[in-house]
Amino acid sequence: MMEDDPRFNAGTGSYHRIDGSIQMDASVMLPGRFGAVVAIENVKNPVLVARDVMEKSPHLILAGEGAVKFARLMGHEHYNPETEKSRKAMSSTLEKLADYSNMEDRITSFRNRVDFKKYLSADTVGAVSRFSGRFAGAVSTGGASPMLPGRVGDVPIPGAGIYVGDQGAVVATGIGEEIIQHSLCFRIYERIGEGSLQDVILDEVSGFKGPVGVIAMSSREEVWHANKTMSTGLFSME
């Protein structure tokens, strides 16, 4: 549902890469089980393809063209996730990158000029759940703009943007590069039970330079924290 909402940077409305392509990452995790797609193009719901990787393939992660071919085999039809808003965001990003008439210039300009703290934006979507006492997590993104084609963020990397085990579920949003360097979700997961989960999250993100947000649940707590604006919702069927 969140991937279908164009306000988010996941599925429909995902950001473009600086070559104009849209490559999305998504993953799902259950205790001891994982599935992810990396830099997948032209599908409506990357997270459902990630679930198919987990449930119907012998692998854990599929990337690029292979991921797209697998998606088609599983019945996910061709879909262009681009929106007017994402096109506008790309134009404004490219304006900030001087000399962008060809890809080589864009890459040079990108490397020399991008101030990550200033330019990077987020809006990844994620969910954690507990159903019949069992935890699950899912996360999906169009990436953190601006980015090179082929760039992989934290979302499809277990332990970085997602971690789920018997003790709980944790997913993150923010600058993938920084989240991967901290193995953020695994570190938080490992500390479940050590005082309040909220305090653990605050402690783990305290050294972050860029924007970061986490949602997490254990058998005792459902918590979230972000160092910038992050929408959250809580739904209970009990």
Q: Which residues are catalytic?
A: 124
Contact status, residue 137 vs residue 108, Cβ threshold 8 Å: no
Residue 47 token pair: 């997270």
Q: Which of 12, 45, 93, 124 binds ligand ASP (CB under 6 A)?
A: 124
Closest distance to ligand ASP from the beta carbon of 132 (Å):
29
Q: How many residues form the binding site for ligand ASP (CB under 6 A)?
A: 15
**Segment interacting with ligand ASP (CB under 6 A) among 45-53, 140-148, 200-208, 214-222:** 140-148
Q: How many CB atoms lie within 10 A of CB 103?
A: 13
Q: Which of 35, 46, 146, 153 binds ligand ASP (CB under 6 A)?
A: 153
Site for ligand ASP in 187-216 (CB under 6 A): none
Q: How far is CA 152 from CA 24, 38, 45, 73, 102, in A?
A: 9, 7, 18, 24, 22
Closest distance to ligand ASP from the beta carbon of 147 (Å):
8
CA 65 to chain centre: 19
9 binds ligand ASP per the rule CB under 6 A: yes
Q: Which of 23, 42, 45, 173 binds ligand ASP (CB under 6 A)?
A: 173
Contact status, residue 139 vs residue 159, Cβ threshold 8 Å: no
Q: Which of 24, 29, 53, 122 binds ligand ASP (CB under 6 A)?
A: 122
Q: How many CB atoms lie within 10 A of CB 144?
A: 28
Distance in angstroms (rounded) separating the CA atoms of residues 176 and 160: 8
Binding site for ligand ASP (CB under 6 A): 9, 122-124, 141, 143-144, 153-155, 161, 173-176
